[in-house]
Structure 1
Amino acid sequence: MSTNTREISATPHDVWAVLADGWLYPLWVVGASRMREVDDDWPAVGARLHHSVGSWPLLLDDETEVVECRPVELLRVHAKAWPSGEAGVTLRLEPLDGGTRTRVTIEEDARSGPGRLVPKPLRDLPLAWRNTETLRRLAFIAERRH
């Protein structure tokens, strides 16, 4: 499991507001390129984001499904990313400085498909880079939404 952490200068509620707005997903998730649909009950358990990955003209339609949700604390999803397979992703929010800042931790690893065949150290390297940028983008949005 690849793990990245970033401290964000926004409250946990502000960070959660970004996570809870499924239409913002391609703005902060590296690799997601466009949204096609967001289930009305996102981010409730079982809700899905219908998105595309890649760059035009090589786009693949995929989806991400919520498997656990504790608002303002935790969001766990299964993200499809074919042809590489499916990933398990967990985002944890921890209040800092009396709740004025947030430590966000993202954990990700391949769950199924060809990505599971790649040795873990080789999977972790690109995931660490990708999720460093993902958390940077999340911070940019959460810190500037006011």
Structure 2
Amino acid sequence: MAVRHCLIRTSPGTVWAVLADGTRYADWVVGTSSSRPVRGHWPQKDAAIGYEVRIGPVGLTNETVVRRCEEGTLLELEAKAGWLGTARIAIELRPWGEDCLVIVDEHPLRGAGGLLHNVGTEAMIQLRHRAMLARLSRLCEAEARTGTRDTTDGRSARTSAGAPGGEHA
């Protein structure tokens, strides 16, 4: 089971604001090139976002569904990966003084991914989590510092409290 943690130097509210915006999924999830709402209101239970993974000229689309949400503290997702099956991804936020301790726990749930799961795939998931948490940390800390929404493509947009992607401390 791939469990990784990261201390993000901002409030849990700021981190939650990023997680709660389904359009920002591609900003911090490694391998995802875009994301969009599919159904429901993200991150409420059973809401889904569609995402695209680009491999050269080929784009693969799938979706991630919220299976459990405790606003501000816990988001459990089921990410679909076509013939590979699905994975359970739990993201827990814990206050840590003025900061936020983020704990990510991911493991295969259904399909070929579970059958093929081994030490090698576990190591790959750990590397992916390290990069993903670094991206999430960078986004959240920059947002807290400047009030600017940073994106992986170099664009930035001014945010305000209460707006999607804004700081909700």
Larger Rg: 1 or 2? 2
- Does the 8 A contact of 1:36 with 1:52 survive in 2? no
Match of 1:53 in 2: 53
> Which of 108, 120, 123 is the aligned partner of 1:125?
123
Following TM superposition, where does structure 1 have runs of at least 4 consecutive aligned residues deviating by more than 4 angstroms? Answer: none
Deviation for aligned residue 1:139 = 0.5
Name the % identity: 33
- Does the 8 A contact of 1:28 with 1:134 survive in 2? yes
Match of 2:133 in 1: 135
Deviation for aligned residue 1:118 = 1.8
RMSD: 1.3
**What is the number of equivalent residue pairs in this alignment?**
144
TM-score, normalization: structure 2?
0.80
**Is there any run of 5+ residues in structure 1 with no aligned partner, and where?**
none
One-letter amino acid matched to 1:116: G
TM-score, normalization: structure 1?
0.92
The reply on whether 1:23 has 2:3 as its aligned counterpart is: no
The reply on whether 1:71 has 2:71 as its aligned counterpart is: yes
The reply on whether 1:92 has 2:69 as its aligned counterpart is: no
* SS of equivalent to 2:45: coil
- Does the 8 A contact of 1:33 with 1:55 survive in 2? no
Report which stretch shifted further, 17-26 or 50-59: 50-59
Deviations 1:37-64 (A, max 9, x none): 3545100000000111233421111000
